[in-house]
Amino acid sequence: MPEINIDDNVDLAQQIRFVSHEIRNHLSVCDMYSQIIKKHLENDGYSNPSVSNALDCIQKSFQIIGMNVNDLKSLNPDNKVVVDFKMCVLRAFELSKAYVEDKDIEFELFVKNTSSIFIDENRFISCVVNIIKNAIEAIEVRGKISVLGEVKSDFAVLKIANNGKQIPLEKQGKIFECGYTSKQRGSGFGLNICKKYLNSQGADLELVKSTKSETVFKIAIPINMD
């Protein structure tokens, strides 16, 4: 194992700054050009909900990547704002469909009612995307994913269910551990990061159940604004 000294760390820090700077530059280019495309389409009177949705998803993804790049530099404090629960869920739902590839997945989305929540919008969306992406990955070829939202007295609750493969009983206690993955090309970071972030907001993420017929995750966000 190579010896680690302070100089190595300085080089690593320098490298992180350099790479983040380059990513940011090119993100700005992509962001700017996607805005230009949107403007041109509007000016030309071209209206296609699927294209506008795709452009909105691209722009939201740029913001999320930008936030993560800032995290690399530890510059990014929580950016909590008052946002609408349902709007965040809709955005996350659209973003996650990018992971479907050639599977045959029926998506159901139902948000019964809504409320303002005080949270970092991009981080929250990124958590929901992580969970829906896992649900997509759990379905081998064909299946169904349901995303159900409801505001109860003190919490906005989001349940994400799929009928893909079951999480074995003996693994159910491990899935939130950093680095636990059952996938060949997984990282095992997704659920760990989501839970840490949500817990830091007084919110919670839990596995409600995973049986042969259904796996359900639940997020509960306090809506008490004090």
Ligand X SMILES: Nc1ncnc2c1ncn2[C@@H]1O[C@H](COP(=O)(O)OP(=O)(O)O)[C@@H](O)[C@H]1O
Q: Using CB under 6 A, list all residues that contact ligand X.
A: 130, 134-135, 138, 162, 164-165, 167, 175, 180-183, 186-192, 215
Determine the interface stretch with Mg ion among 60-68, 100-108, 153-161, 187-195 (rule: CB under 5 A): 187-195
Q: Which does 119 bind (CB under 5 to 8 A by kind): Mg ion, ligand X, none?
A: none
Comparing CB distances to ligand X, the nearer of 83 and 139 is 139
Comparing CB distances to ligand X, the nearer of 69 and 135 is 135
Comparing CB distances to ligand X, the nearer of 107 and 118 is 107
**Per residue in 16-43, is it b (16+ CB within 10 Å) or e — as a string?**
eeeebeeeeeebeeebeebeeebeeeee
Report, in angstroms and rounded to the nearest whole number, the Rg of the chain calculated over CA atoms: 19
d(CA 161, CA 154): 22
Comparing CB distances to ligand X, the nearer of 83 and 129 is 129
Q: Name the minimum Å distance from CB 130 to ligand X.
A: 6
Residues 6+ apart with CB under 8 A from 142: 103, 104, 105
Q: Name the minimum Å distance from CB 35 to ligand X.
A: 31
- ∠ CA 131-159-203, nearest 5°, is 80
- Of the candidates 18, 19, 95, 15, which has an alpha carbon nearest to the alpha carbon of residue 53? 95
Q: Which does 215 bind (CB under 5 to 8 A by kind): ligand X, Mg ion, none?
A: ligand X
d(CA 60, CA 95): 8
Distance linking the first and last C-alpha atoms of the chain: 50
Comparing CB distances to ligand X, the nearer of 35 and 181 is 181
- Residue 190 interacts with Mg ion (CB under 5 A): yes or no: yes
- Residue 134 interacts with Mg ion (CB under 5 A): yes or no: yes
